[in-house]
């Protein structure tokens, strides 16, 4: 397993990590992802550790906290062997303050996560979304307090716009508070918007990408093609899950899958392995979070490392997945000679 620095920090993480969205399945939304109990989760973690994958990503809202609880049970007796990443900001209760990035909610969220995870520290704590109603000074001073207390070690964000992240970094620099070293972002062969602003920002500011949904919300499993029905286990069969995730035009999807099929024939690898390997080679990417309903799926995903696509294969996938740029990015292409981080 290859390990990389997480952004500008000194922490090293594996290029693949395991997401726990498939743990629990205690509500209809997350049931469409998976329903792993403690026994199955423990086995998946066994397989990960054997392969050198020691980072496990969760969130307080995954199955209403059950995913964190299952992860905590599954790592009992081996906490020193793993890195835990979790998130908070989204609504986690019915109270007025049970949402957002206020001091009140973040402290309560971290205390709840620590209890469910059965640990006294979180290796990487990330804001799950941007809270425009809470001053960044309040949020970042709270995270500083939690770092100083030893309850979290590194901080990151998720689903921020470029200006959200840059403003936060400026506040951290002004007051000498911890900086976000991770940006958990949606990025895939069929979702390349991350490259427009967040990737150049990450390169410039030392913020590493922790990629979520690298297979395009379950569309790049190799089982979705023209004229074929969705597989029985696809989360896309759940309309609520489909609607809340990234939207992808069918013809665009099929064009990318066609290119993946070509590369699959050349390499002898599977479609998801190729899609994951493409991501691992992209700038700023520190780790790609994969999900797995079972051991077989996990082992397939682990097959994405230990080899690299050729330059020609990467170019073929780049061309198939290219999309017209939004303004001002299309205009900036005309001045690429002075842009050190071209999209």
**In the block, residue with structure tokens 């050349």:** 266
Res 18: pLDDT: 98
Average pLDDT score over residue span 95-120: 98
Catalytic member of 3, 62, 175, 254:
62
Peptide bond into 54 cis (omega under 30): no
> Residue 109 pLDDT more than 70?
yes
For 250-300, how does the pLDDT look when each residue is reduced to its tens digit (9 = 90+)?
999 999 999 999 999 999 999 999 999 999 999 999 999 999 999 999 999
Judge whether 329 counts as a catalytic residue: no
How distant, in Å, are the alpha carbons of 46, 151, 256, 271, 292 from that of 19? Answer: 14, 21, 25, 20, 8
For 139-191, how does the pLDDT look when each residue is reduced to its tens digit (9 = 90+)?
999 999 999 999 999 999 999 999 999 999 999 999 999 999 999 999 999 99
Average pLDDT score over residue span 8-22: 98
Instruction: Tell me the pLDDT of the chain averaged across its residues.
Output: 94
pTM over 0.85: yes
- Is residue 243 classed exposed, middle or buried when 0-12, 13-18 and 19+ CB atoms within 10 A define those classes? exposed
What share of residues in the chain are helix, strand, coil (percent, to 5)? 45, 15, 40
Give residues with Cβ within 8 angstroms of 247, minimum separation 6. Answer: none
Question: 137 phi and psi, to 5 degrees?
Answer: -65, -40
Question: 202 phi and psi, to 5 degrees?
Answer: -60, -40
Res 340: pLDDT: 66
Judge whether 343 and 195 are in contact, CB under 8 Å: yes
Res 330: pLDDT: 87
Res 228: pLDDT: 80
Q: With pLDDT > 90 as the criterion, what percentage of the chain qualifies?
A: 84
Nearest by Cα to 245 from 222, 282, 212, 280: 212
Res 238: pLDDT: 73
Please tell me whether residue 194 adopts helix, strand or coil conformation: helix
Alpha carbons 249 and 160: distance in angstroms, whole number: 24
Res 230: pLDDT: 74
> Residue 240 pLDDT more than 80?
no
Question: 84 phi and psi, to 5 degrees?
Answer: -115, 130
Alpha carbons 110 and 150: distance in angstroms, whole number: 12
How distant, in Å, are the alpha carbons of 5, 88, 210, 238 from that of 56? Answer: 16, 15, 12, 26
Give the number of other Cβ atoms within 10 Å of residue 49's Cβ. Answer: 15
For 184-226, how does the pLDDT look when each residue is reduced to its tens digit (9 = 90+)?
999 999 999 999 999 999 999 999 999 999 999 899 998 888 8
Q: DSSP E strands: which ranges in the chain?
A: 3-5, 12-14, 16-19, 55-57, 83-88, 122-127, 152-158, 180-186, 208-212, 285-290
pLDDT level of residue 244 (50, 70, 90 thresholds):
confident
Angle between helix axes 250-267 and 311-321 (nearest 10 degrees) is 170
For 112-138, how does the pLDDT look when each residue is reduced to its tens digit (9 = 90+)?
999 999 999 999 999 999 999 999 999
């Amino acid at each position: 397993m290859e390990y990389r620095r997480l952004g500008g920090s000194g922490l090293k993480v594996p290029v693949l990590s395991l997401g726990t969205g498939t743990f629990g399945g205690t509500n209809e939304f997350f049931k469409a992802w998976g329903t792993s109990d403690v026994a199955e989760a423990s086995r998946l973690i066994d397989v990960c550790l054997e392969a050198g994958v020691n980072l496990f990503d969760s969130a307080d809202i995954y199955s209403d906290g059950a995913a964190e609880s299952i992860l905590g049970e599954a790592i009992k007796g081996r906490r020193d062997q793993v890195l835990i990443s979790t998130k908070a900001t989204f609504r986690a209760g019915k109270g007025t303050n049970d949402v957002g990035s206020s001091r009140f909610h973040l402290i309560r969220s971290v205390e709840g996560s620590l209890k469910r995870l059965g640990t006294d520290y979180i290796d990487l704590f990330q804001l799950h979304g941007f809270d425009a109603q809470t001053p960044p000074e309040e949020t970042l001073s709270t995270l500083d307090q939690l770092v100083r207390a030893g309850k979290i070690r590194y901080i990151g964000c998720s689903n921020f716009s470029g200006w959200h992240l840059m403003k936060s970094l400026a506040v951290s620099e002004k007051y000498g508070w911890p900086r976000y070293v991770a940006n958990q972002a949606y990025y895939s062969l069929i979702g390349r918007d991350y490259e427009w602003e967040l990737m150049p920002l990450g390169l410039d500011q030392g913020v590493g990408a922790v990629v979520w949904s690298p297979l395009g919300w379950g569309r790049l499993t190799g089982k979705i093609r023209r004229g074929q029905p969705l597989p029985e286990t696809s989360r896309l069969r759940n309309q609520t899950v489909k609607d809340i995730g990234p939207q992808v035009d069918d013809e665009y999807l099929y064009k990318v899958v066609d290119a993946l099929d070509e590369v699959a024939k050349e390499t002898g690898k599977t479609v998801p392995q190729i899609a994951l390997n493409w991501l691992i080679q992209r700038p700023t990417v520190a780790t790609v979070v994969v999900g797995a309903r079972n051991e077989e799926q996990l082992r397939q995903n682990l097959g994405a490392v230990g080899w690299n696509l050729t330059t020609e294969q990467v170019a073929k996938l780049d061309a198939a997945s290219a999309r017209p740029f939004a303004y001002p990015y299309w205009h900036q292409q005309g001045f690429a000679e002075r842009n050190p981080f071209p999209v």
